[in-house]
A and B are shown apart, each in its own frame.
Chain A
């Protein structure tokens, strides 16, 4: 089973793709290894949020994604 990792907004440019699929399960250490170095560098900062299965994690380091989950990497937003 796979976990789909989505790169939102400017993170997609850094990753060079909108999404990747990685083997489940996926934790924080696995996520840092799975993404491009330019993304991994930004991930620990407080400006990037992580959602798993449609829920934003209060502590992203507690990530435990299982097969079929979608993990979204969310950089600073700008709407309106």
Chain B
């Protein structure tokens, strides 16, 4: 089962993950990552901007690459756009596979690409106004891990 989506409204990850897991009968493992808006740095809100012609098609190509690279039964990749409050989920990636390692690595792979190689722009509102957020060096390092071709 493949479910790649942009959402404009708040979502409850469990309401997606439950049906996703059910839709992949016979799976050996499911791995899920949920990213939320942090509340520890004075940010009042976060805005996720996307560019319609590129963002979702890019996520679809990322899903194609994940299916090509890992032995997956299903992949759920959901990303919020619009204005989010502290504690709201931004992103949910869930992978179902026959074996644990494929599920875990596929989620890691998708998240590294969503953080710094997908068509999103993020800004946060603090007491003094809106500030754009750029990927951190760690995000780029995370992405670089996947550039080494997998062993044949």
Contact = CB atoms under 8 A, between A and B. Distances in A.
A10 B49 CA distance: 10
B121 A51 contact: no
Nearest to B79: A79
Given A9-B132, A10-B132, A78 B122 contact: yes
Nearest to B81: A79
A51 B53 contact: yes
- The A interface, classified by DSSP as helix, strand, loop or mixed, is loop
Contacts, number: 64
A80 interface: yes
Interface stretch (B10-18, B21-29, B97-105, B110-118): B110-118
6 contacts: A51-B54, A54-B54, A54-B57, A79-B91, A79-B119, A79-B122
A77 B132 contact: no
Interface of B: 35, 48-49, 51, 53-54, 57, 79, 90-91, 111, 114-123, 132-135, 139
A9 B47 CA distance: 10
Contacts of B122: 78-79
Interface of A: 6, 8-10, 13, 51, 53-54, 56, 70, 72, 74-80
Contact of A79 (B53, B57, B120, B132): B120
Contacts of B114: 79-80
| Most interface-central of A10, A13, A51, A79 (chain B CB within 10 A) | A79
Best-buried of B51, B79, B114, B123 by chain A (most CB within 10 Å) = B51
Given A77-B120, A78-B133, A79-B114, 12 more contacts: A8-B49, A51-B53, A56-B54, A72-B54, A74-B51, A74-B54, A77-B118, A78-B116, A78-B139, A79-B79, A80-B91, A80-B114
A57 B139 CA distance: 24
